[in-house]
């Protein structure tokens, strides 16, 4: 399986599947909340950034399927599926 980039009108998430980290590139600066949710619905990580480029490190995350939630202060974007190898 190749690498998949998740692209929204407001950000891009890559690589997917991921090992040690994912990059999230936003089209604009501003406060963003990022949550990593496991398949059971539990929040694993919660981070906040104001940068256009953000790296979420996954060394402490077990292999599996997760969802990424992004909230920009106005909108929640649909959760994006992430595979951690």
Mean pLDDT, range 53-61, rounded to an integer: 95
- Split into its structural domains, the chain has a count of 1
Q: Alpha carbon of 29 to those of 10, 12, 18, 39: distances in Å? A: 10, 14, 24, 30
- pLDDT given for residue 8 in this prediction: 59
The predicted-structure confidence for 2-50, as pLDDT tens digits, reads as follows: 554 555 578 899 999 999 999 999 988 889 999 999 999 999 999 999 9
Exposure class string for 46-74: b at 16+ Cβ within 10 A, else e = eeebeeeebebebeebeeeebbbbbeeee
Domain with 60, as residue range(s), is 6-84
| 1 domain-assigned | no
Mean pLDDT, range 69-75, rounded to an integer: 87
Domain holding 13: CATH number? 2.60.40.3080
Mean pLDDT, range 47-71, rounded to an integer: 95
- pLDDT given for residue 1 in this prediction: 45
Query: What predicted TM-score, i.e. pTM, was given to this entire model?
Result: 0.84
């Amino acid at each position: 399986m190749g690498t998949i980039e998740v692209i929204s009108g407001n950000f891009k998430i890559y690589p997917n599947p991921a090992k040690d980290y994912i990059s999230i590139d936003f089209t604009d600066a501003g406060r963003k909340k990022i949550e990593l949710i496991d398949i059971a619905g539990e929040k694993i990580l919660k981070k906040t950034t104001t940068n256009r480029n953000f790296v979420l490190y996954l060394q402490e995350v077990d292999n599996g399927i997760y969802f990424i939630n992004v909230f920009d202060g106005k909108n929640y974007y649909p959760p994006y599926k992430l595979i951690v190898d």
